[in-house]
C-alpha cells in the first residue's frame, strides 16, 4: 500500500504536532475507532496505544495496522473506568488525544475522573489535545453535548493547564463543516519541596 493511503482521520492532527513541536514519544488515543490516527502516528515513529470499546472497530484497526506495517497497542475498554488494570502507564505519555470523547462525558463526577486520569497519564511535558463540539450563541444550554469556551475552561482548568481553546471546523478542508473547539492542554508543573536540614526553611522549586 502507498503512503498516501495512510492519513489521519483528524485533519487537524498534523498541524497540532507542528505547532506544539510534538515529534516523538508515546502517544495515546482515547476512542481510536479503526485507528487511522494511531496508524498514522505509528508510521511517524511514535509508540502508539489506542483505546476503544467497539470490538469490531478494533478488529478492523488490527487489520489496517498490519497492512501498514506497524503494531500499535490496541486496548478494548471504556475510558476512564473500563481500562484493564496495568494497561496504561501513569506519566508515560507525551501526547494524549481524543476526537469528540471528552465532550460526551456529561456527568460532572465522571468528567472529573476522566480529566484527573488524563493528568496522571501525561508526562511532565506532555500535551493533551481534544476536539470538542462548539455550542453557538443561538443554541440553548443543555442542547446535546456541545460546549462553550467558558464551560471548557471551568471544567478543565482544575486539572490541566489550558494552552489553547480555538474554534475550528471539524474538517479543516471544509470550512462549512460543524464548528468545534480545538483544545490543547498540559499538566500543571508540580513544585518540588526541598528541606535544608541545616535551617528550618522549606524551598519550593
Between CA 110 and CA 98 the distance in angstroms is 16
pLDDT of 183 > 80? The answer is yes
Predicted pLDDT at 125 = 94
Residue 177 has pLDDT above 80, yes or no: yes
pLDDT tens digit sequence for 90-149: 889 999 999 999 999 989 999 999 999 999 999 999 999 999 999 875 554 544 578 999
Q: Are 186 and 138 in contact (CB under 8 A)?
A: no
In degrees and rounded to multiples of 5, residue 105 shows phi and psi of -85, 95
Task: Tell me the pTM.
Answer: 0.87
**Segment 66-92 mean pLDDT:** 92
Outline where 139-205 has alpha helix (H).
149-156
Query: Helices in 33-107 by DSSP H: which ranges?
Result: 36-43, 55-68
**158-196 b/e (C-beta count within 10 Å ≥ 16 → b):** ebbeeeebeebbbeeeeeeeeebbbbbbbbeeeeeeeee
Mean pLDDT to the nearest integer, 4-25: 91
Cell 507525551 belongs to residue: 94
176-203: average pLDDT: 75
Cα–Cα distances (Å) from 178 to 12, 136, 171, in that order, read 14, 11, 8
**Where on the phi/psi map is residue 86: left (φ > 0), alpha (ψ -120 to 50), or beta?**
left
Over residues 154-172, the mean pLDDT reads 97
The pLDDT tens digits for 41-60 are 999 999 999 999 999 999 99
Please, what are the domains in the chain? Answer: 3-204 (3.40.50.150)
Lowest model confidence (mean pLDDT) among 31-40, 78-87, 161-170, 178-187:
78-87
Whether 132 and 103 have beta carbons less than 8 Å apart is answered as yes
Amino acid at each position: 500500500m502507498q503512503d498516501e493511503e495512510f492519513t489521519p482521520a483528524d485533519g487537524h492532527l498534523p498541524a497540532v504536532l507542528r505547532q506544539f513541536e510534538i515529534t516523538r514519544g508515546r502517544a495515546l488515543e482515547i476512542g481510536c475507532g479503526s485507528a487511522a490516527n494511531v496508524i498514522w502516528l505509528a508510521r511517524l515513529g511514535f509508540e502508539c496505544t489506542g483505546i476503544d470499546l467497539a470490538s469490531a472497530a478494533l478488529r478492523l484497526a488490527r487489520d489496517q495496522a498490519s497492512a501498514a506495517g506497524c503494531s500499535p497497542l490496541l486496548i478494548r475498554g471504556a475510558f476512564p473506568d473500563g481500562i484493564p488494570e496495568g494497561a496504561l502507564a501513569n506519566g508515560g505519555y507525551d501526547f494524549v488525544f481524543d476526537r469528540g470523547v471528552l465532550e460526551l462525558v456529561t456527568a460532572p463526577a465522571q468528567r472529573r475522573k476522566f480529566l484527573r486520569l488524563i493528568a496522571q497519564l501525561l508526562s511532565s511535558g506532555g500535551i493533551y489535545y481534544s476536539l470538542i463540539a462548539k455550542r453557538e450563541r443561538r443554541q440553548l444550554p443543555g442542547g446535546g453535548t456541545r460546549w462553550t469556551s467558558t464551560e471548557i475552561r471551568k471544567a478543565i482548568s482544575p486539572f490541566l493547564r489550558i494552552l489553547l481553546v480555538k474554534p475550528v471546523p471539524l474538517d479543516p478542508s471544509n470550512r462549512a463543516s460543524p464548528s468545534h473547539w480545538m483544545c490543547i492542554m498540559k499538566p500543571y508543573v508540580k513544585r518540588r519541596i526541598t528541606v535544608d536540614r541545616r535551617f528550618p526553611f522549606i524551598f519550593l522549586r
